[in-house]
Amino acid sequence: MIKKDQLYEGKAKKVFQTANPELLIVSYKDDATAFNGLKKGTISGKGAINNRMSNLLMQRLQESGIPTHFVAELNARETLVKRVSIVPLEVVIRNIAAGSFSKRYGVEEGRIFPTPTIEFSYKNDALGDPLMAESHATALNLATPAEIECIKSYSFAINDILKAFWLKCGITLVDFKLEFGRLADGSIVLADEISPDTCRLWDTKTGEKLDKDRFRRDLGGAEDAYAEVMNRLTSHI
Ligand code: TMP
C-alpha cells in the first residue's frame, strides 16, 4: 500500500491517505509530549515499539471479539488502519489510583479500587481535554447514548483482557486511555493506540513505572522501560 498525502500530524503519530479511501496509514514518531504539549522530548525507539505493541494488542482484542481499526503492519513504524471518524472522547479506565485521579481526589497513588472506574474527557486540545459527564457528551452530540453504552462495554471488556494479559508478563495495568471511531457503516471500533504512552504499567514485583510517566515526571530510563515492556510482551503473546 502506497502512502499518499499526509492527512494529519498529531503529537505522536502522522496519518496518511492511501489509494483506498477506506484505508489510512499511521506512522508512529519518537516524539513525546506531556501536559497538553507543554513538555516536549524524544523517546528514542518509541515509535517502532508503540507500533508493534499496539498492533499485537489490538490483534489479541480482535480475537476476543472487540472490533478495532487494525488492518496490517506495513513496517517498523507504519500500520494500515481502517479510516474512522474519531468520536471526540478520551475514555480512561482505572484499576488503581494514580495521576490525575490521585491529584483530583487527594488519594495516594497505588490504592486499588474494588471495581474499575471509567471517565470521559472531551478530546479538544484548545480546551485542555476537559473531563466530561456522559450527559454532556450526548448534549453536545459527540456520541449517541447507544454509542456511549457500546464504548463503555468495549472499554470494560478491553480492561479485563489487557489486565489478565499484562499480569502474565509481571506487569500491573494501573490505568489507560482509549479512543474509538465510527466506520462508514456507523459501527464503533477501537482506534488510536495502546502503548506505554497511553497506559500506566507498573512492574508487579517492584512497583517500578514502565511507561510514559518516566518522561512526564523526569524519572529517566524511558527508553529502557519501553524496551522492557516490549520484551515481556513478545515473550508472552
Ligand atoms: P491521567 O491520570 O493523567 O488522567 O491519565 C490516565 C491515563 O490516560 C494514563 O494511563 C495516561 C493516559 N493518558 C493519555 O493517553 N493521554 C493523555 O493525554 C493523558 C492526559 C493521559
What tens digit of pLDDT does each residue of 158-171 get? Answer: 999 999 999 999 99
Output the CA 212–ligand 1 centroid distance in Å: 9
Q: Does the structure show a pLDDT above 80 at 1? A: no
Nearest CA to ligand 1 atom 20: 35
Which domains, from first to last, does the chain contain?
6-82 (3.30.200.20), 86-221 (3.30.470.20)
Give 74's contacts (C-beta < 8 A, 6+ positions apart). Answer: 1, 25, 80
Q: What is the pLDDT of residues 182-193, one digit of tens each?
A: 999 999 999 999
Edge-first strand listing for the sheet containing 78-82: 6-9, 13-17, 23-28, 78-82, 70-73
* Ligand 1 pocket at CB < 6 A: 92, 98-101, 175-177, 198-200
pLDDT recorded at residue 123: 98
Output the CA 147–ligand 1 centroid distance in Å: 22
| Ligand 1 atom nearest to CA at 213 | 11
Bridge-partner residues for 27, per DSSP? 14, 78
**Do 30 and 42 contact (CB within 8 A), yes or no?**
yes
Find the length of the chain: 237
Q: Does the structure show a pLDDT above 90 at 237? A: no
